[in-house]
Amino acid sequence: MVTYCRSVLDDDPVFKALADPVRRLLLDLLFVQDGRSLGELDAAVNEHTEMTRFGVSKHLRQLENAGLVLTRKRGRTKHHYLNPVPIQQIHQRWIGKYTERAGIASVLLGMKEQLEQSPDEPKRPGHEPKDES
């Protein structure tokens, strides 16, 4: 109880870390290949967008604080490793219940488009509010 793993109970930093496209790109890069240094990641990021080493470093630190990236210093270079566990946690503890419901809701796959284009419909099959007039 008391020694319960600290990061388990606040997934907020994880969600916050995932909110930035550059950070998601970094995770994608590490997903493809683990253990890269800051310099390597900086180079990879700059194939997509322009950003200095410092910006990349800051993003990596945020990922690290969220537990999504684990690091190991080896000589003068710092290697970064993807840790997918926090993502799995927010999935289990939060996202899962929504995807289950969505699985039901989106039986008709094209439904979403229709839903988003008719702003005067409640847009969920069945389960209409029971018109308490």
In the complex, the residues that contact DNA under the rule CB under 7 A are 16, 19-20, 22, 37-39, 42, 50-55, 57-59, 62, 75-78
Closest distance of CB 120 from DNA, Å: 12
Instruction: Say how far apart CA 38 and CA 74 lie, in whole Å.
Output: 12
Instruction: Say how far apart CA 67 and CA 21 lie, in whole Å.
Output: 17
Instruction: Say how far apart CA 44 and CA 12 lie, in whole Å.
Output: 27
Nearer to DNA, 94 or 100 (CB): 94
> Of residues 61, 81, 93, 125, which one binds its own copies by CB under 8 A?
81
Helices (H), the chain: 6-9, 12-18, 21-32, 38-45, 53-65, 85-90, 96-105, 111-117
Q: What are the residues binding its own copies (CB under 8 A)?
A: 5, 7, 12, 15-16, 18-19, 21, 24, 27, 31, 34-35, 67, 70-74, 79, 81-85, 87-88, 91, 94-95, 97-99, 101-103, 105-106, 111-113, 115-116, 119-124, 127, 129
